[in-house]
Amino acid sequence: MNSTPADPDSLWRRAAECVRTGDYANAVMTYRAIAEANPADPLGWFALSSAARAGGDFRLAVEHARSAALAMRESGRFAAVAELAQHLQNLGETRFATHIIERAGWSAVSTHADLAARLAQTLGQADRHADALQLLDLALARHAATPALSYLRAITLRHLGRGAEASDEFERCLALAPDYAAAMLMLAQHDVRHRGAEQLARIRAALARDGVEPQQRAMLDYAHFIHLDAAGDTAAAWQALESGMRLKRASLAWDATAEQATFDALARLCDADFGSRRDGAADGQHTPVFVFGLPRSGTTVLERLLANHSRVASAGELNEFHHQLCWEANLATSEPADPRLLAAAPTFDFAALGRGYLLRTHWRAGGASHLIDKFPRNFLYAGLIHRALPQARMICLVRDPLDSCLSNLKELFAGDFYPYSYEPGETAAHVVRFHRLLAHWQTCMPGAVLTLRYEELVRDPARVMRQVLDYCGLPFEPACTDLARNQTPSATASSTQVREGLHARSIGAWRRYAQPLAAAQTLLRAQLPAQVFSAD
C-alpha cells in the first residue's frame, strides 16, 4: 500500500519543529524532500542549507546554498535575496552572494529601502563598495532618506576615501536620528574635528539621557573618549573609555583559559616535525601573501604599501583559509581555531587544503602574481598555512606591546571580535600569548614568517619595504614607500588614518595612559623579552 505524500505545508511545519528542537538530521531530511519536490523554489534549498549549517555539516550547507542561488537566478524569485546573500557570504561564497544581488537588479531592489540597505551592507562586506554606493544612491533617489540608508552611505563613502562627503553624510544621518549612537561614534573616529564642539555636545546630551541601552551607551562612551583624548584630557578620556569597555565586556562570553588552551593546542599540533612537512599545494596561479598581527598593529599600512606594487593585488581581510579548513573537516563553525578543527587537522589532505584555498581566492588576483590576504586571525593558522601552501609568504607586524594594548583597548570592535580587548589585564595577557605563539612559529618554522616592527616600517619605509619585496620575490618599486598613493577602498578601523600618509605619531602613545596601564605594563615586562619593547 502506497503512503500518501505529506502536503508541502505539513513538511515545512515538520522541518521547522525539527530545527526548533535541535533535530537537524531530520530537519535536513525533511527540507531535502521539500526542495526536491519543487527544485525551482530557492527557499527550499535555502532552508536545507541553513539546517545543514546549524547541524555542523559545512559541505552540505555550501552545496545547497549554491543550489539556492542558482534556483533564485533561474526562477527570478528574489524575495529572500538579502537573507540568502548574507548566508552565502557567511559560508565564504562571496561570488555567489554578489551574483544574486546583481541578478536581482540594482533598480529593482532599490525600490525597497530596507532591502537596499541590507544588500548594500553585504556588498560592502564583499569589498564591493562602489556598487554598494550606487545601490544606496538609487534607493535614496526613490525614497526619503532614512537613518539606516544615510548611515550606510556615510560608512561607504568613508571606505572609498571620500572623507568630506562622509562627514556630511554622518551629519545628515544625525539630523534624521539625533540619538544614533553608531553614527556619533563613527563620525568621531572618522573626523573628530568636523564640527567638533557640536559633536561633543551631541554625545554628552545623549549620555545624559535616561534609559540608554548598554550597547548604545558603550558606543557613546567610546565616542566621548575620542573627543576627550583629542583634547588632551587623558584623565576624563580614560574614565569614558573604562565605562565603555565595562559595558562591552559584560556583553561578551569570553574565557581566557579557553584561549590559552587553543594556543597550547596550536603549538602541540604544529611542532617542528609538522613544520618541516611541505606536502601542500606547491603550485598555483598566484602566490598568497598573508599579512597578519594583532589588530591595529600596522597591518593595513603594510598591506597598502605592498599593494602599490605592479604585480600585487590585495583581497583585504579574507576568512577563506578558515572556510577551507571547515571544508576539509566538514565542520560548520565560525570560531577561529575551533578545537574540533584542530583535532581533525592530522587527517587533512594538505595538498587539497592548499588547492582549495587557491581556487577560492584566485578570482580576486585579477592577473596579479601575488595576492594579499590581510585577515589578522590568520596568525593562528600560520603552521597550517605553511604546510598547505609552501609557496605562500607570511608577514607578521609587531609593535610595542604597550602600544598594542592601548590600540586594542580604545577600539570598539564589531560583534564579538577580539573579546579580550575590553580590560587592560586581559588585553595584556592576550598580547603575551600572541608573542609566545609567534616565537613558537619562528622556532618550528624557521624563516617561514617574516617579522617586521611597525616602528621601523613608518620611520624607514624604503629599507623595510625592500626587505618585504625581497622576501616575496619581487623587485623593488618606489611606489611601495608611498602610502598616500594607494587610493583603493579600505574597510578597516584605520580606513581614514591610512589616507594621511606615513607618520610616527602613534609610537609611544601608551605613555599618555601610563597610570591606568600600570598593571598591564608590569605583566608585559615580566613575561616578555626586553627586545620586543620599543626604545621610545
* 484-to-299, 304, 315, 481, 501 alpha-carbon distances in Å: 15, 9, 19, 9, 5
Mean pLDDT, range 284-291, rounded to an integer: 93
Closest by CA to 129, choosing from 491, 493, 500, is 491
Note whether residue 88 is domain-resident.
no
Q: At residue 5, does pLDDT exceed 70?
A: no
C-beta separation of 366 from 472 below 8 A = no
How far is residue 57's CA from residue 71's CA, in Å, rounded to a whole number? 21
Q: Does the residue 203 lie in any domain?
A: no
Question: In this structure, is residue 262 part of a structural domain?
Answer: yes
Per-residue model confidence as pLDDT tens digits over 413-467: 999 999 999 999 999 999 999 999 999 999 999 999 999 999 999 999 999 999 9
Phi, psi of 167 (to 5 degrees): -60, -45
Determine which helix (DSSP H) or strand (DSSP E) holds 153, and give its type and residue range: helix 147-159
Q: Which residues of 459-495 are buried (b: 16+ CB within 10 A; e: fewer)?
A: eebeebbeebbeebebeeeeebbbbeebeebbbbbbb
Per-residue pLDDT at 211 exceeds 50: yes
When the pLDDT of each residue in the chain is averaged and rounded to a whole number, the result is: 94
Residue 413's SS3 state is coil
Q: What is the secondary structure of 237-295 as a DSSP string? A: HHHHHHHHHHHHHHT----HHHHHHHHHHHHHHS-HHHHH---S----SSEEEEEEEST
Look at the chain and count its residues.
536
Distance CA 56, CA 68 (A): 18
Give the pLDDT mean for 19-42.
Answer: 96
Mean pLDDT of 244-260: 96
Range of the domain at 264: 256-500+510-532
| Mean pLDDT computed over 163-179 | 96
Q: Would you state the cell numbers that stand for residue 80, as one nine-digit string? A: 529572500
The pLDDT of 206-233, averaged and rounded, is 97
The answer, yes or no, to whether residue 355 has pLDDT greater than 90, is yes
pLDDT band at 277 (very low <50, low <70, confident <90, very high): confident
CB 132 within 8 A of CB 120: yes
CA distances from 350 to 281, 328, 356, 384 (A): 7, 9, 10, 8
pLDDT band, residue 501 (cuts 50/70/90): confident
Name the residue with higher pLDDT: 196 or 106: 196
State the Cα–Cα distance between residues 377 and 382, nearest whole angstrom.
Answer: 10
Q: Do the domain assignments include residue 266? A: yes
**What pLDDT score does 84 carry?**
98
Angstrom distance (rounded) from CA 338 to CA 72:
33
Counting the structural domains of the chain, the total is 1
Q: Are 297 and 404 in contact (CB under 8 A)?
A: yes
Q: 88 with 57: CB under 8 angstroms?
A: no
Give me the mean pLDDT over the 166-189 stretch. Answer: 97
With a CB cutoff of 8 Å and minimum separation 6, the contacts of 172 are: 145, 150, 154
Q: Residue 499: its pLDDT value, please?
A: 66
If you average pLDDT over residues 250-260, what whole number do you get? Answer: 94
Q: Of the candidates 233, 107, 197, which has an alpha carbon nearest to the alpha carbon of residue 513?
A: 233
Matching residue, cell 613544520: 275
* Helices (H), ranges, 162-211: 163-176, 181-190, 196-208
Average the pLDDT over 385-400 and give the result: 96
Confidence band for 66, pLDDT divided at 50, 70 and 90: very high
| CA 153/CA 375 separation, integer angstroms | 24
| Helical (H) or strand (E) element with 433 | helix 424-444
Q: Which amino acid is it at 157?
A: L
Whether 166 shows a pLDDT value over 60: the answer reads yes
Classify residue 186: in a domain, yes or no: no
At residue 460, what is the residue type? D
Give a yes or no: residue 43 inside a domain.
no
pLDDT at position 1 is 38
Could you tell me the pLDDT band of residue 495, with boundaries at 50, 70 and 90?
low
Amino acid at 92: G
CATH number at residue 361: 3.40.50.300
Q: How many secondary structure helices (H) and strands (E) does the chain include?
A: 27, 5
Fill in the amino acid letter for 418.
Y
In the prediction, which pLDDT does 107 show? 83
160-180 average pLDDT score: 96
Mean pLDDT, residues 279-286: 78
Residue 327 counted as domain residue = yes
The arithmetic mean of pLDDT across residues 477-499, rounded, is: 81
pLDDT in tens, 84-141: 999 999 999 999 999 999 999 988 888 889 999 999 999 999 999 999 999 999 999 9
pLDDT attached to residue 322: 97
Between CA 500 and CA 491 the distance in angstroms is 15
Q: How far apart are CA 66 and CA 35, in angstroms?
A: 13
Question: Is the CB of residue 308 less than 8 Å from the CB of residue 477?
Answer: yes
The answer to whether position 477 is within a domain reads: yes
